Amino acid sequence: MRILLVEDHLELSHWLAKALRDASLTVETARNGADADALLHTQDYGLVILDLTLPKMDGLEVLKRLRARGGLRAKTPVMILTARGGLEERVQGLNLGADDYLAKPFELAELEARVKALLRRSQGNEALVHQCGSLSFDTVTRMFAYDGAPLALTPREHAVLEALITKPGRAVSKEKLFDEVFALADDANLDAIELYIHRVRKKLERAGSNGAAITTLRGIGYLLQPRDAA
């Protein structure tokens, strides 16, 4: 799941981005409102974490422009994260379309819980637990398990498997996986997806014979299905 973090304080931005990546999320960052606005014109994100006091363009203006565009991108969940925590500004932000508002200073555990809640809510009526064979993914804890035992994955392996298991019965293109796994600033090309597919396949094979398997559909993408159906 790719997140856009818009925060001009460099140290805080690095700290938050690392924490979110440790939670198996793909994070892109923007240091000013103009850059954030440009990214939101062209890129799809599962969530935007938006500071208000930003250079070049205020965060509320970024939010206003996002909601005014229409289409699916205009519905992207937005969490406002700011030291401007007065009632009037909170009301203004929520009226402009923010989905949540967290004032600085804050506890990281609360931020992570709110991020998970927004991402879960954005999935609508999808199941809280996705199952494929003996492999399961809990969208609340964001943990994979095989027969109830945690499955150890790196953040990028996690992102690949999450993109596949949350689309049951559907093939996911290499391009879509690339968007889910890598941020724009990452030094990677499309072929890197094949490396992570290979690594995830090996871990699923080691997990057991009645688990899940990734099938390559040439010219279409990758499909996750129970191993006995692969």
Do 110 and 156 reside in the same domain of the chain? no
Residue 85 — pLDDT band, cuts 50, 70, 90? Answer: low
Give yes or no for a contact between 22 and 155, defined as CB atoms under 8 angstroms apart: yes
Q: Of the candidates 100, 122, 144, which is a domain's last residue?
A: 122
Sheet holding 149-150, edge to edge: 129-132, 135-138, 143-146, 149-150
Do 89 and 200 reside in the same domain of the chain? no
Do 117 and 8 reside in the same domain of the chain? yes
Predicted TM-score (pTM) of this structure: 0.67
Tokens of 222: 């990758």
- Rounded CA gap, 139 and 129, in Å? 6
Do 6 and 118 reside in the same domain of the chain? yes
Q: How does DSSP classify residue 214?
A: E
- 173 contacts: CB under 8 Å, gap ≥ 6: 220, 221
Task: Give residue-wise pLDDT tens across range 1-53.
Answer: 789 999 999 999 999 998 888 887 888 999 999 999 999 998 888 899 999 88
Q: Of the candidates 104, 122, 140, which is a domain's last residue?
A: 122
